[in-house]
Amino acid sequence: MTAEDRAPAADAFTRALLEEIGHEFRTPLSSILGHQELLSEGILGELDEKVGHAVDRIGVAARQLTHLVNGAVDLAGLAVGNPPSPELESLSIAHLNEDVEAYALALAREGAPFEVRGGGSARLVQTDAKRLERVLILATTAVAREAPSGRIVITLPGVEDAEDGWLRATWLGPGGDWLWIPAPGAGGSAMEVLTAALEAIPAAGEGAPPGSWLRVAVAAVTAALIGGRLRFVPGDAESRLEMALPGPAAEV
């Protein structure tokens, strides 16, 4: 069998392996999250404040890992020529904001100094809800890891953010170039973002890839997959991470 003959078989094996690995991770993670929600909602009995915070941390960690696993499978599929297809649906901005605020609250209980602003818009957007949540959660945890000191503000999407046709979420943090993010070419396609992210590994030389490399790479490629973009804008006094996605499609 020649190298040319082996290539399709290797790609098929890689795809099958990735799907199986994803399944093996997702199954126990779904069980962990299901039981965490039962505990958090008090269905299995009331929890005191200390135990409640510990249960929140379990949920935060499990959601991060779930999104990293699913995102890594997407990235690997894209790399072997099997890009994922976004699953578009109508998503309420108000509902999205409630979910993100709850997540940010749980993260704040871990010590991340977050303030959440915005939200409550009665609009629908056509997007891939799971992948949009992935971008928000992984970007939030990347900011928390890379800028642990000082106040960090998350401004969530709202009606006013879509005046130019884009829906935005913004993370504000202390000044400085503290977050690495892949810089794609002019097209900004998912493959270009992935290529830029992969180039960061050999560019790191003998050292480790840039901080929060996997979280940021998955978030940036996922944003591109659903038609958006992620960028980091450093500043002297204040730096920001921005996510932009196609704007609201209709009134609720």
* pLDDT attached to residue 162: 58
Residue type, 79: A
H-type helices in the chain, by residue range?
Answer: 3-40, 49-79, 93-108, 129-146, 190-203, 213-225
* pLDDT attached to residue 218: 94
Using alpha carbons, select from 117, 116, 241, 134 the residue that is nearest to residue 178. 241
The C-alpha atoms of residue 139 and residue 94 are separated, in whole angstroms, by 20
Q: How many residues does the chain have?
A: 252
| In contact, 226 and 245? CB cutoff 8 Å | yes
* pLDDT attached to residue 232: 92
* pLDDT attached to residue 119: 63
Q: Which helix (H) or strand (E) holds 232?
A: strand 229-233
b/e 157-191 (16+ beta carbons within 10 angstroms → b) = bbbebbeeebbbbbbbbeeeebbbbbebeeebbbb
> Distance from first CA to last CA of the chain, Å, rounded?
58
- What does the pLDDT profile of the chain (252 residues) look like in tens digits? 454 554 565 666 666 776 777 777 777 777 877 777 777 777 877 878 778 778 777 877 888 888 888 898 888 888 878 888 888 888 877 777 777 777 777 676 666 667 777 766 667 778 888 898 899 888 888 888 887 666 777 777 665 555 666 778 888 888 888 899 998 876 789 999 999 998 888 887 778 888 889 999 999 999 999 988 999 999 998 898 988 887 765 544
* pLDDT attached to residue 120: 63
* pLDDT attached to residue 220: 94
Place of tokens 């130019």: 164
Residue type, 105: L
The C-alpha atoms of residue 235 and residue 180 are separated, in whole angstroms, by 14
All structural domains of the chain, each given as residue ranges with its CATH number in brackets, are: 3-79 (1.10.287), 89-251 (3.30.565.10)
At residue 236, the 3 state secondary structure works out as coil
* pLDDT attached to residue 251: 46
